[in-house]
Amino acid sequence: MRTGHEIREAIARKQTSALEVVEQALESAGRLETELHAYIRLLPERARIKAREIDAAVTRGDKLGPLAGVPIAVKDIFTVAGEIATAGSKILENFRSPYSATVVEKLERAGAVIIGKTNMDEFAMGSSCENSAFFPTRNPWDVTRVPGGSSGGSAATVGAGTVPIGLGTDTGGSIREPASFCNIVGVKPTYGRVSRFGMIAFASSLDQAGPMTADVRDAAQTLEVIAGFDEFDSTSVDVPVSDYTAALRDDLSGVRVGIVAEFEAEIGASDPALAALYKAAYADLERLGATLVEVHLPHARYGLATYYLIAPAECSSNLARYDGARYGRRVQNGGDVFEMFERTRAAGFGDEVKRRIILGTYALSAGYYDAYYVRAQKIRTLIKRDFDTSFAACDVIACPAVSCAPFELGQKMQDPVSMYLMDYFTIPMSLAGIPALSVPAGYVTGLPVGLQIVAPAFEEARMLGIAHAYEAATGHARRREPPLAGAAR
Amino acid sequence: MSTKVANAAATDYEPVIGLEVHVELKTNSKMFCGCRNEFGAEPNSLVCPICLGFPGTLPVINRKAVEYLCKTGLALGCSIAAHSKFDRKNYFYPDMPKNYQISQYDMPLTTGGSVTLPSGKRVRLNRIHLEEDTGKNVHAGGRMAGAEYTLIDYNRAGVPLMEIVTEPDLSSPDEAEAYLVQLKAVLSALGVSDVKMHEGSLRCDANVSIRPAGSSALGTKAEVKNMNSFRSVVSALEYEIARQKASLAAGERIVQETRNWDEARKLTYSTRSKEQAHDYRYFPDPDLVPLSLEPATLERWRAELPELPLAKRGRFMESYGLSDYDATILSADIPTAVFFEAVVAASGEPKAAANWMLNDVPRALEKHGLTIESTRMKPGQLAELIKLVKSGTISGKAAKEICEAMVADGEDPQAVIAQRGLAQVSDEAAIAKLVDEALAANPDSIASYKAGKTKALEFVVGQVMKASRGKANVEIVRAALIKRLE
Ligand SMILES: [Zn+2]
């Protein structure tokens, strides 16, 4: 048993119990933790209570939710009522949330059992999980390497097979890059498709929650559960949620797949081995019946610069609330309330967070606002238009999810820009607010790499359907096991 | 004395005043969350994760607040923006849970419009925008700097706040007060706010500068804050204008700064705040989508507007023959206007009704700590009282006593008259008897009267009234006395 849908079936058929599944997941998580460091906190008691509720429902013969009894791991950026939510930061290390995120409520209502809160780059700022204020998470494929970030903990625990489903967030690639690095499926939905209420904000106009799963079917099922309008999030969009699992398909006849000329030139020059792997992936799509068409994203090269103005600008304001007055960490050594704010923030935030707050504060300052923030918004519009133009010629875009295979811990920590470049292929979609996913595409020197599939806004069903056909035909993830495997499968 | 100073002293200056009025909207819930919007509750009892700015929370716009602001704009002839947006005003302050305030920067809900004063002057409005109120800080020791500790009450944090900004159109402290009175009247007619300055639901800051009389240039302005009543607005403005004149006369420059009004010391002082150094880093709030208003919605709101104070004043003058002054006062407060019109309807005596509503009723209300809404007196009772005076059943003096009893206890006038024996005596035989007694007791006055001293007559009238314990009809007493003496 490896996927969420298999587990749910087995529980529904009474071949196993939710409690048994949860105990296995907890055991696996605990056993791997010394090497993997995927969890900031396990929630064994809460998990057992929920599992017993599912088992009682099975015994009574109740109608079971679509994720009944499926153990899941939730990134520590989401609030769960009564539990601590740190967002990977010291400043929230003792913050116990009085309420649950909308997505958490929806998952629990669907029967999912949260076994723990996973590690992440502080406030989701990072691409390697090394910016966690607590400890770095390792890659189950090679513990000397990073799992990607910022949703590194969820990626690592799903990649290791401890749980089939993790919940992550993606602002510029924080679901897709770690999914790629850990050989799992990671979906960033359309901006507004999933409620942000209860998801601790990094950059509000970019943040989206999404599933990180063992296979495409689990991703489709999970997205179906968490998607939808939320009256508590004004930016969530009132568009009906499709039946994503029904849209899963096995061939690609009639599908036009756009290949981005600029991206191919970029990766061909920087990493020929990786470029060859992606070429093979596009050929697989063609073999399944798809037609490849060349498309252009001329403004995508400005994506990184645009992103590093908009995201820090929003975060500089979003993170202003962490001042020690109402919750979280407080550092008070005499002095007035403003001194308390300064000391709390100086001690509570890590270097990368401080770097971005300073960047964003600068970008929004009087005299610079028009030159930086306003201009960045204009480029964002141009990037969005590039996608609109491209989608006139194709149904989905296939492109690299990452610019390299998982790298070693510490390799990029002294060079923030090389770390920022990790999101080169994922940031344009975030800026355009359109859905994109990463699906396992094979291995480079034994390390996993993902293929990115991108669709127009609210066309998640199409995107998942195509990813499913590719996954079914290639089965890259099914073919190998990571050295750090979670459980007897 | 240098020439420059002498010139400055010789120059005649005129003040230029603009007001920024913050009005808390009387919605059921707060601006961006479901907490109750209420004054005077236990500290931090009206809070939730959203208005406390907890991690992960998001704001949702209160449509009622938008409606209230737009109705105010429609009533004041403002143009309502079909599209507007909310922005974040970023600065650190402990009474702000998110360390930014959601406000409107460059696309306010309304622009233009005006408030017409009873004098006929139109005070132009620059804009009205919607924002959230802050909490309240209480510093041990009074000031934040060096305070031993600071307590924060977040009940007010997130209460919908409408900021109404005028053009610098006001030319005296009295005009500023007239503007506030008129604005308050409009807002209470619309029912969008409690407009209680002492509870902070209406707050006023003033931008004040002076310039040589007749000049069209604007001088350097000071922003005056912390005024807690209409009275203190007038005093603060008077002080500030005099201060600026004195500064210029002494050859000093006016500095652009924020000054607080000190009610106890009756002066303004510089806050020496770093206000000028503040860069609020406004940017569109990415948690909220732009606000669009349908023309049909605006038309519906326009149709729902009640009669406004100035229109009501005009109608009171025209239909009831009231003076400008009386009509202004009676139309300014909606409950008073409603009560007044009910008394008129029941009595058919608008002038008498106005007199009572302007004099004895407010006096009695104040004496008993009541308001026109809390008194048990009914309009029909006051109308009855007016009829009783007109028919001569009671004297004017007795009527005042009855009025107070009615205001205090809500008793019927007839009941008070019966209880206290206040019916007027108009019986001529009974009065003639009292007159005879009075004349017998005061033979001197008869002589004085006959010697041409009319004052003596009034003395005897007074004696008769005293003997009747005020119940005798004074006109009949006077007539009887003259008849007897001639
Ligand atoms: Zn609230």
DSSP states along B400-433: HHHHHHHHHH---HHHHHHHHT-B-B--HHHHHH
Query: What beta strand segments (E) does B117-201 contain?
Result: 122-132, 136-139, 150-153, 160-166
Q: CA-CA distance, A372 to A448, in Å (whole number)?
A: 37
pLDDT reading at B83 higher than 90: yes
Cα B52 to averaged position of ligand 1 atoms, centre (Å): 7
Cα B36 to averaged position of ligand 1 atoms, centre (Å): 8
B246-266 pLDDT tens trace: 999 999 999 999 999 999 999
A279-316 pLDDT tens trace: 999 999 999 999 999 999 999 999 999 999 999 999 99
State whether B55 and A87 contact (CB < 8 Å). Answer: yes
End-to-end CA distance of chain B: 77
Residue A170's nearest CA partner among A119, A209, A218, A200 is A209
Residue B273 is predicted with a pLDDT of: 61
* H-assigned helices in B24-134: 63-75
Tell which wins on pLDDT, A484 or A461. Answer: A461
Query: What's chain A's average pLDDT?
Result: 96
A235 closest CB neighbour out of B53, B98, B287: B287
User: Contacts of residue A339 in chain B, CB cutoff 8 Å?
Assistant: none
Confidence of residue B425 (pLDDT cuts 50, 70, 90): confident
Residue B471 is predicted with a pLDDT of: 79
Contact criterion met (CB below 8 Å) for B121 and B144: no
Task: Provide mean pLDDT across the span B91-110.
Answer: 96
Q: CA-CA distance, A121 to A132, in Å (whole number)?
A: 4
Task: Provide mean pLDDT across the span B191-206.
Answer: 94
Complex ipTM: 0.96
A320-333 pLDDT tens trace: 999 999 999 999 87
Q: CA-CA distance, B350 to B330, in Å (whole number)?
A: 12
Number of residues that this document lists for chain B: 486
Nearest CA in chain A to B154: A326
- Respond yes or no: is residue A365 known to be catalytic: no
The answer regarding whether domain B428-485 maps to CATH 3.20.20.210 reads no
Strand partners, B258: B223
Task: Provide mean pLDDT across the span B458-465.
Answer: 84
Question: HSE on the CB side for A62, CA within 13 Å?
Answer: 14
Contact criterion met (CB below 8 Å) for B230 and B177: yes
Contact criterion met (CB below 8 Å) for B202 and B72: no
Degrees, nearest 5: CA angle A404-A408-A410:
120
- Give residue limits of the domains in chain B: 3-296, 309-420, 428-485
Confidence of residue B277 (pLDDT cuts 50, 70, 90): low
Contact criterion met (CB below 8 Å) for A98 and A57: no
- Respond yes or no: is residue A317 known to be catalytic: no
CA distances (Å), origin A398, targets A307, A387, A392, B118, B248 = 21, 12, 15, 71, 72
Buried b (16+ CB within 10 A) or exposed e, B131-160: bbbbbeeebeeeeeeebeebebbbbbbbbb
CA distances (Å), origin B153, targets A19, A283, A326, B130, B140 = 45, 64, 11, 22, 14
pLDDT reading at A487 higher than 80: no
Strand partners, A260: A295
A330-349 pLDDT tens trace: 998 778 888 999 999 999 99
pLDDT reading at B267 higher than 80: yes
Residue B249 is predicted with a pLDDT of: 92
Task: Provide mean pLDDT across the span A32-53.
Answer: 98
Q: CA-CA distance, A316 to B63, in Å (whole number)?
A: 28
Confidence of residue B159 (pLDDT cuts 50, 70, 90): very high
Residue B104's nearest CA partner among B280, B282, B223 is B282
Question: HSE on the CB side for B278, CA within 13 Å?
Answer: 15
Q: What are the tokens at B69? A: 């602001």
Out of A50, A75, A106, A188, the active site residue is A75
Task: Provide mean pLDDT across the span A426-444.
Answer: 98
Nearest CA in chain A to B146: A336
User: Contacts of residue A101 in chain B, CB cutoff 8 Å?
Assistant: 56
Residue B453 is predicted with a pLDDT of: 73
Cα B34 to averaged position of ligand 1 atoms, centre (Å): 6
* Residue B150: strand, helix, or coil: strand
Query: What beta strand segments (E) does B251-340 contain?
Result: 257-262, 267-270, 283-284, 291-292
Task: Provide mean pLDDT across the span B241-250.
Answer: 95
What is the number of other CB atoms lying within 10 angstroms of the CB of residue A382?
15
State whether A235 and B286 contact (CB < 8 Å). Answer: yes
Q: CA-CA distance, B271 to B156, in Å (whole number)?
A: 24
User: Contacts of residue B55 in chain A, CB cutoff 8 Å?
Assistant: 79, 85, 87, 92, 95, 97, 200-201, 321-322, 327-328
Question: HSE on the CB side for B328, CA within 13 Å?
Answer: 12
B344-383 pLDDT tens trace: 999 999 999 999 999 999 999 999 999 999 999 999 999 9
Residue B3 is predicted with a pLDDT of: 40
Which contacts of A287-290 are long-range, i.e. CB under 8 A and separated by 24 or more positions?
A287/A473, A288/A251, A288/A252, A288/A253, A288/A469, A288/A470, A288/A473, A289/A251, A289/A252, A289/A253, A289/A254, A289/A255, A290/A252, A290/A253, A290/A255, A290/A256, A290/A257, A290/A466
Whether the bond between A150 and the residue before it is cis, its omega within 30 degrees of 0, is yes
Q: CA-CA distance, B133 to B35, in Å (whole number)?
A: 13
A235 closest CB neighbour out of B57, B92, B289: B289
Confidence of residue A62 (pLDDT cuts 50, 70, 90): very high
Residue B4 is predicted with a pLDDT of: 43
State whether B283 and A317 contact (CB < 8 Å). Answer: yes
Domains and CATH numbers, chain A: 4-250+436-488 (3.90.1300.10)
Q: What are the tokens at A335? A: 């002095």
Out of A180-184, B384-388, B467-471, the most confident range is A180-184
Residue B461 is predicted with a pLDDT of: 85
Lowest-confidence pick of A224-238, A255-269, B60-74, B331-345: B331-345
Cα A128 to averaged position of ligand 1 atoms, centre (Å): 36
| Percent above pLDDT 70 for chain B | 96
Query: What's chain B's average pLDDT?
Result: 91
- Respond yes or no: is residue A75 known to be catalytic: yes
Q: CA-CA distance, B181 to A355, in Å (whole number)?
A: 51
State whether A204 and B57 contact (CB < 8 Å). Answer: no
Task: Provide mean pLDDT across the span A47-72.
Answer: 98
Cα A123 to averaged position of ligand 1 atoms, centre (Å): 24
State whether A364 and B145 contact (CB < 8 Å). Answer: no
Confidence of residue B6 (pLDDT cuts 50, 70, 90): very low
* H-assigned helices in B96-229: 173-190
Q: CA-CA distance, A265 to A271, in Å (whole number)?
A: 10
Interface of B with A (CB under 8 A): 49, 52-61, 88, 90, 92, 94, 97-100, 144-147, 150, 152, 279, 281-283, 286-289
Phi-psi region at A97: left, alpha or beta (left = phi > 0; alpha = psi -120 to 50): beta
